[in-house]
Structure 1
Amino acid sequence: MNACPATPSAIALPALLAAGEQRLSADEIYPRLFDAILEQRLAPGTALTEQALGQAFGVSRTVIRRVLGRLSDQQVVVQRPAHTARLAAPDPQQARQVLSARRLAETTLIGLAARRTSAPRIRQLRELIARERKHHEQGHRCTAIRLGGEFHLKLAEMADNAPLTRFLNGLVPMTSLIIAQYETQPCEHCAWQEHAALVDALEDGDSEAALQLMHQHLDRIEAKLSLD
């Protein structure tokens, strides 16, 4: 499967993100930029200039500033006075901290989700997995990565704990950036299969199995990274 095409600088942002649309609001631009990060279409450290993004989306720099501020709150974008905003590029120590924080969040959330399962929620998760599998099998790695991230965020919503869900909402794109930087080997066991096994355990009401499967899933993510 081909790697996701990364954008090395802000120059290519208009072609990558604009899609010919104009007058988008900050609330409409944010998920598009967020998805581009999840799909690893923006390389860690990419410069995100207000002017380039404004041209890309046909909006003012004020609108872009609100979007970047929101991503900065999630620590996905790094903003410093008198410097161009950049996509985060975690060093190995920061990467380990992010992965550790994500494990704490996800293992807590899976326990909460196990107590709040319902047929409609299970169906939503399975629909996401079906889309993830389809794109994986078609070789659309970038889209499959994004849908895999969406699965974890949907699972967090199912847990019905807003602070933890917001916390994870920043850790998922950070994990995508970490994988883009430090992945050394492809995952032999597809993420959608691991997600499907998690949903099976939740549907069966087996919270202990779901917790174990989540640990194994996160173990596999970390095993393919070189952080030494």
Structure 2
Amino acid sequence: MSTLEPTAAPRPLVEPTPGQDKDEAIYLHLHTAIFEAHLTPGTRLPEDALSRSFGVSRTIIRKVLQRLGHEGLVEIRPNRGAVVGEPSVDESREVFATRKILECGAMAEVIMRATEADLKALAAIVAQEDAAQKDGDRPAAIRLSGEFHVRLAEITANGILARTVSALVARSSLIIATYGSPISTSCRHSEHTEIITLIRAGKTEAAAAWMAEHLDRVESGFAYSENAPKPPGLEEILQRVAPRVPRKRLL
């Protein structure tokens, strides 16, 4: 298991944007680091090291870690502190089974509500994902792949559905980091393009079937093993993370 060794930071890693709380800025920074697999599953997150790095009290760090824990991205272990979540094989399979139920079932609503602006926004995400894959930018490819699926859920204007899918997508990033092979870092952008085509054509059943096949293909690239190797994590990796400011969502 990797660990974040406590080291002194010359300045806080993040500064809140206008109107943003300090804990929100730290949350976004850590969320990005975990989602993009900079901080890998099993990496220890000592409160003292993080409070020093971010220039805040351990109380604020504890609050942020608890929030990430509630979302399943961090595990709070009694008497051992927090670590980046390590999804089991069974849990990983359940996450993708649930995603298929929700995302396939949402296709009818997506097709009914999707506007041309929505489809153009989805296509723009796919184009960025394609560029990230060609550049070998694994973190960006994972993030954009997840963004595509979350954006589809948001089109339904069902806040509960969108939040649930968003949480499952974030959890999927840990699964990819734990069990993903080098070629299964994210979804294939061509499959995302095909889903857009089916939505535009109003083919509900075909879109739902393609989404199911798409998620199956992603999962088929995983090397499920309870002993999957964990690359080391380092505290200075946080210095390289640029947290993404959430877009305005239909929630």
Which TM-score tier does this pair reach, normalised by the shorter chain? 0.7 to 0.9
The answer as to 2:93 corresponding to 1:119 is: no
Counterpart in the other structure of 1:211: 208
Counterpart in the other structure of 2:199: 202
The answer as to 2:14 corresponding to 1:21 is: yes
TM-score of the two chains, using structure 2 as the length reference: 0.78
Tell me, yes or no, if the aligned pair for 2:42 and 2:86 is still in contact at 8 Å: yes
Tell me, yes or no, if the aligned pair for 2:126 and 2:193 is still in contact at 8 Å: yes
The answer as to 2:34 corresponding to 1:30 is: no
Q: Which structure 1 residue ranges, 5 or more long, are not aligned?
A: 1-6
TM-score of the two chains, using structure 1 as the length reference: 0.85
**How far is 1:12 from its partner?**
8.1
**1:47-70 residue CA offsets vs partner (Å, 9 max, x unmatched):** 122222223323222322232222
Distance 1:13 1:221 in 2: 38
RCO higher in structure (CA 8 A, sep ≥6): 2
Count of aligned pairs: 220
Counterpart in the other structure of 2:158: 161
More helix by share: 1
Deviates more, 1:129-138 or 1:24-33: 24-33
Q: Aligned in 2, Cα 1:84/1:193: closer, same or farther, shift over 3 Å?
A: same
Q: Aligned in 2, Cα 1:13/1:135: closer, same or farther, shift over 3 Å?
A: farther
Tell me, yes or no, if the aligned pair for 2:142 and 2:186 is still in contact at 8 Å: no
**How far is 1:220 from its partner?**
0.7
| Residue among 3, 6, 13 paired with 1:9 | 3
Q: Aligned in 2, Cα 1:219/1:85: closer, same or farther, shift over 3 Å?
A: same
Counting aligned pairs with the same residue, the percent is: 35
Q: Which structure 2 residue ranges, 5 or more long, are not aligned?
A: 226-251
Counterpart in the other structure of 1:85: 82
Q: Aligned in 2, Cα 1:151/1:14: closer, same or farther, shift over 3 Å?
A: farther
**How far is 1:108 from its partner?**
2.1
Q: How large is the Cα RMSD of the aligned pairs?
A: 2.6
